[in-house]
Structure 1
Amino acid sequence: MDEGGNKSILSPRIRHCIYRTLVNLERSAECGLVSVSRCCHTYKASDGEEIFDGIEVRIVDENHRDVPRGTSGEICVRSPTVYANCYVDNEEASKAVIDNAGWYCTGDIGVIDADGRLAISGRKDDMIKRATVKIFPVDIEPILKQHSAIKDVVVIGVPDDRLGEEICACVILDDASSLADVKSWCKEQFSVGPDGLSIAPVLYVQFSQFPTTASGKTDKRLVKQAALDYLKV
């Protein structure tokens, strides 16, 4: 929102309310609005977001049990808007994703910190399980996109006999670059994970273009299938 360069037009309280309402809202078609972050140029997704009043959020493990604050798990939401949004077209399908207590499991992985702020790590379906460590493409893809040769990238997990899964980068490169250049650069960019291994991709598959959905978005499911077929795993 443009205040015309005159900060005295709006009081700090009003500015706070406007920014809090309009900036970085987290929502889904099923749940409606869930959380919001304040307007701040230093904001990072890991900082977490304030959960709206009237929205209940819990973090659960793979057995649907609550985990302690600060522990990562699947985000579940309960609110009147869950029913309003989910039951519009297909009540039977909606009931399949909402438990008897009214909790909707979003498929997103996140954490609620000690201050009650919600931070989203990524999609459950996209999570890479390397031995005992959970790795999310959203932690890797932005780093890869910093390389000038990489026009687009999708990070996936591929089967690995020793670790369960390994990290694979599916990339579209400009015509003047090679995978060898990218691999060499990546070795210097990525930190070591909790398992003592780098989170740099181990495998790379080069694409000329990514398959897309009907809406024009990259179809990550088809990208992964094409990569698995190419790698023969």
Structure 2
Amino acid sequence: MRGYLDAPEATAAAIDPAGWLATGDVGTLDATGRLYFVGRTKDIIRVGGENVAPADVENTLHRHPRVRQAVVVGVPDERLVEVVFAFVVLTEPGTTEDELIAWARTRMAGFKVPRHLRIVEGFEEIGMTASSKVRKNRLAAHARGLLAQRDDEVPA
């Protein structure tokens, strides 16, 4: 792409001086040169100076035999700026939130492990798009509400 029609400011913001289009996609290359999409820069969770792609955490959680669906968002944290909050739908009951966090801890870097995890029945009440994707902005607001509610319940 050479640029946006009649929009030089938008073109300058999207295309760097070397001619590369900044799409906002985040990926990794493996040893054979294959490119893997891992998320979007706007979706990145910044945990204590480390960047965490929600898709990376979700993919790891999906490898658990009882996880049907995992959706991850960032929530504010006093010390680390943000931390990972995972919402998980199970294929069958019998796994606890603490067990899933412990399982994840053995499979990913410590800063990627969800600090908060909630097992849910589904995401319909929180909000889905017409294409059946979870509305992450609503899910993040829901997660912040859950944390605020928990903080309100702690005796002073």
Q: TM-score, normalised by structure 2?
A: 0.71
Residue number in structure 1 paired with 2:93: 176
Distance 2:115 2:72 in 1: 11
Preserved CA contact (<8 Å) 1:112 1:119? yes
Choose between structure 1 and 2 for higher RCO, CA contacts under 8 A separated by at least 6 residues.
Answer: 2
How far does the alpha carbon of each residue in 1:103-140 deviate from its partner, in whole angstroms, 9 at most, with x for none?
25422234789xx9866442112101112211111221
Q: Which has the higher helix share?
A: 2
Q: Indicate whether 1:152 and 2:49 are aligned.
A: no
Give the 3 Å change call, closer, same or farther, for CA 98–179 of structure 1 in structure 2.
same
Q: TM-score, normalised by structure 1?
A: 0.50
Give the 3 Å change call, closer, same or farther, for CA 98–117 of structure 1 in structure 2.
farther
Q: Indicate whether 1:189 and 2:102 are aligned.
A: no
Cα RMSD, aligned residues only: 3.1
How far does the alpha carbon of each residue in 1:2-51 deviate from its partner, in whole angstroms, 9 at most, with x for none?
xxxxxxxxxxxxxxxxxxxxxxxxxxxxxxxxxxxxxxxxxxxxxxxxxx
Preserved CA contact (<8 Å) 1:98 1:105? no
Residue number in structure 1 paired with 2:120: 207
Preserved CA contact (<8 Å) 1:152 1:173? yes
Distance 2:52 2:14 in 1: 29
Structure 1, unaligned runs of 5 or more: 1-78
Residue number in structure 1 paired with 2:140: 224
Residue number in structure 1 paired with 2:60: 143
Distance 2:47 2:64 in 1: 25
Displacement of 1:99? 2.7
Q: Which amino acid aligns with 1:155?
A: V
Preserved CA contact (<8 Å) 2:67 2:91? yes
Residue number in structure 1 paired with 2:39: 122
Identity fraction in percent:
30
Aligned residues between the structures: 138
Preserved CA contact (<8 Å) 1:205 1:227? no
